[in-house]
Amino acid sequence: MPQPRAGQGKNLFQKVWDTHTVRTLPNGQIQLFIGLHLIHEVTSPQAFGMLRDLGLKVPYPKRTFATVDHIVPTDTRAEPFKDELAQGMINALRTACRDFGIEFFDIHSGKQGIVHVIGPELGLTQPGLTIACGDSHTSTHGAFGAIAFGIGTSQVRDVLATQCMALDPLKVRRVEVNGKLGLGVYAKDVILHIIRKLGVNGGTGYAYEFAGTLFDRFSMEERMTVCNMSIEGGARVGYVNPDATTFAYLKDRPYAPTGQAWDAAVARWASFASDPDAAYDDVVKIDAAEILPTVTWGINPGQAIFVDESVPSVATASAEQKASIAEALEYMKLKPGAPIKGTKVDVCFIGSCTNSRMSDLREVAKYVQGRRVAAGVKALVVPGSEQVRDQAVKEGLDKIFSAAGFEWRDAGCSMCLAMNPDKLVGDQLCASSSNRNFKGRQGSPTGRTLLMSPLMVAAAALTGAVADCREVFEVEAVGA
Partner 1 sequence: MALAKITSVTGTAVVVPGDDIDTDRIIPARFMRCVTFDGLGQYAFYDVRFDPGTGKPLNHPLDRPEHKGASILISGNNFGCGSSREHAPQALQKFGIRAVVAGSFAEIFFGNCTTLGIPCVCVSDADRAKLAQAISANPALQVSVQLKTLRVEAGECSVPCTIKEGARQALGEGQWDAIGLLLDGAKAVSALEAKLPKISLVSLS
Q: Which residues of the chain form contacts with ligand SF4 (CB under 6 A)?
A: 69-70, 114, 116, 135, 137, 352-353, 413, 416-417, 434-435
Angle (nearest 5°) at CA 478 between 473 and 480:
150
Q: What are phi and psi of 213, to 5 degrees?
A: -65, -30
Report how far residue 408's alpha carbon sits from residue 389's, in angstroms, rounded to the nearest whole number.
9
CB 280 within 8 A of CB 183: no
Binding of residue 201 to partner 1 (CB under 8 A)? no
What minimum distance in Å lies between the beta carbon of 47 and partner 1? Answer: 9
Residue 370 as a binder of partner 1 (CB under 8 A): the answer is no
Q: Pick from 39, 66, 97, 124: which binds partner 1 (CB under 8 A)?
A: 124
CB of 227 to partner 1, least distance (A): 20
Site string for partner 1, 58-97 (x = CB under 8 A): -xx-xx---------------------x--xx-xxx----
Residues 392-431 that bind partner 1 (CB under 8 A): 419
Binding characters for partner 1, 268-307, by CB under 8 A (x = yes): x---------------------------------------
> Which one of ligand SF4, partner 1, none is in contact with 254 (Cβ closer than 5 to 8 A by kind)?
partner 1
80 prior amide bond cis, ω within 30: yes
Shortest Å distance, C-beta 419 to ligand SF4: 7
Which of partner 1, ligand SF4, none does residue 177 bind to, with CB < 5 to 8 Å depending on kind?
none
Residue 256 in the binding site for partner 1 (CB under 8 A): yes
Closer to ligand SF4 by CB, 130 or 355: give it.
355
Instruction: Judge whether 64 and 160 are in contact, CB under 8 Å.
Output: yes
Q: Kindly give the pairing relationship between strand 30-33 and strand 64-67.
A: unpaired
In three-state secondary structure terms, 212 is: coil
* CA distance from start to end of the chain: 17
Q: Which residues contact 396 (CB under 8 A, 6 or more apart)?
A: none
Task: Write down the least CB distance from residue 385 to ligand SF4, Å.
Answer: 11
Strand partners, 349: 380, 432
Which residue's CB is nearer to ligand SF4, number 47 or number 417? Answer: 417
How far, in Å, CA of 224 to CA of 216, rounded? 13
Query: Does 257 contact partner 1 by CB under 8 A?
Result: yes
Options 9-17, 35-43, 293-301, 432-440: segment touching partner 1 (CB under 8 A): 35-43
Candidate segments 29-37, 193-201, 230-238, 452-460, binder of partner 1 by CB under 8 A: 29-37
Does residue number 100 form part of the binding site for partner 1 (CB under 8 A)?
no
CB of 245 to partner 1, least distance (A): 20
- Do residues 432 and 188 lie in contact, with contact meaning Cβ atoms separated by under 8 Å? no
The β-bridge partners of 465 are: 344
Rounded to an integer, what is the distance from CA 343 to the centroid of its chain? 26
Query: Which of partner 1, ligand SF4, none does residue 135 bind (CB under 5 to 8 Å by kind)?
Result: ligand SF4
Nearer to partner 1, 14 or 453 (CB): 14
**Can you give the length of the chain in residues?**
480
Residue 92 backbone dihedrals phi, psi, to 5 degrees: -60, -40
Instruction: Decide if residue 250 touches partner 1 (CB under 8 A).
Output: no
One residue of 2, 3, 8, 55 binding partner 1 per CB under 8 A: 55
H or E segment and range at residue 21: strand 21-24
116 vs 196, beta carbon nearer ligand SF4: 116
Q: How far is the CB of 290 from ligand SF4 (least distance, A)?
A: 27
Please compute Rg for the chain using Cα positions: 22
DSSP conformational letter for 316: T
DSSP string, 132-194: EESSGGGGGGGGGT-EEEE--HHHHHHHHHHSEEEEPPPEEEEEEEES-PPTT--HHHHHHHH
Give just the sign of the alpha carbon dihedral 42, 146, 119, 385. negative
Residues 6+ apart with CB under 8 A from 28: none
Q: Which stretch binds partner 1 (CB under 8 A): 152-160, 302-310, 426-434, 441-449?
A: 152-160
Backbone φ and ψ for 444, nearest 5 degrees, come out as -115, 135
- Residue 157 vs 236, nearer CB to partner 1: 157
Contacted entry of ligand SF4, partner 1, none for residue 476, CB cut-off 5 to 8 Å set by kind = none
DSSP 375-403: TT-EEEE--SBHHHHHHHHHTTHHHHHHH
Q: For binding to partner 1 (CB under 8 A), which residues are involved?
A: 19-20, 22-23, 25-27, 29, 31, 33, 35-36, 41, 45-46, 48-50, 53-56, 59-60, 62-63, 85, 88-89, 91-93, 124, 126, 152-154, 157-158, 161-166, 254-258, 261-262, 264-265, 268, 419
